[in-house]
């Protein structure tokens, strides 16, 4: 019985400290996620591949010069799928195949909402 009272006091005394630390960590994480959502959501159709590459980097896996998955530079698990409209060259080569040539001036035709997925590397 004489150990229970000091133990209860110790637990009660430290709970606010633990809660404050957890709250700070949670707030920091939430702020970080909000900043990534804002940054990734700022990329819109009509912007260039160069604009996209400031926020994202190419992801491994199947892709072409006109369709690719990109991962956030801040967190590789946050992805978007992007389709491009080539600028200054035909979309297909002379044999009708989709071109693999990528250019910084290609325009974003479609971009998915950011989503979470495992990293893919080739």
Summarize pLDDT for 78-117 with one digit per residue, the tens. 999 999 998 876 655 555 555 667 899 999 999 999 999 9
d(Cα 6, Cα 99) in Å, to the nearest integer? Answer: 74
Closest CA to 82 of 105, 58, 99, 61: 58
Q: Cβ distance 99 to 92 under 8 Å?
A: yes
d(Cα 53, Cα 35) in Å, to the nearest integer? Answer: 17
- 85: tokens are 């409209």
Pick 72 or 26 by higher pLDDT: 72
Q: Cβ distance 114 to 41 under 8 Å?
A: yes
Burial class of residue 64 in the structure, from the number of CB atoms within 10 Å of its CB (0-12 exposed, 13-18 middle, 19+ buried):
middle
Write the pLDDT tens digit of every residue in 22-66.
788 888 999 999 999 999 999 999 999 999 999 999 998 888 888
How many C-beta atoms surround the C-beta of residue 47 within 10 A? 14
Instruction: Give the number of C-alpha atoms closer than 13 A to the C-alpha of residue 107, restricted to the C-beta side.
Output: 8
């Amino acid at each position: 019985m004489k150990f229970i009272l000091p133990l209860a006091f110790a637990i009660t005394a430290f709970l606010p400290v633990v809660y404050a630390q957890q709250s700070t960590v949670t707030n920091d994480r939430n702020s970080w996620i909000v900043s990534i959502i804002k940054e990734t959501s700022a990329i819109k159709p009509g912007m260039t591949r160069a604009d996209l590459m400031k926020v994202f980097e190419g992801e491994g896996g199947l892709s072409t010069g006109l369709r690719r998955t990109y991962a956030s530079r801040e967190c590789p698990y946050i992805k978007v799928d992007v389709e491009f409209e080539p600028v200054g060259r035909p979309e297909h080569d002379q044999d009708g195949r989709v071109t693999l040539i990528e250019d910084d001036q290609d325009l974003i035709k479609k971009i998915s909402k950011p989503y979470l997925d495992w990293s893919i590397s080739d």
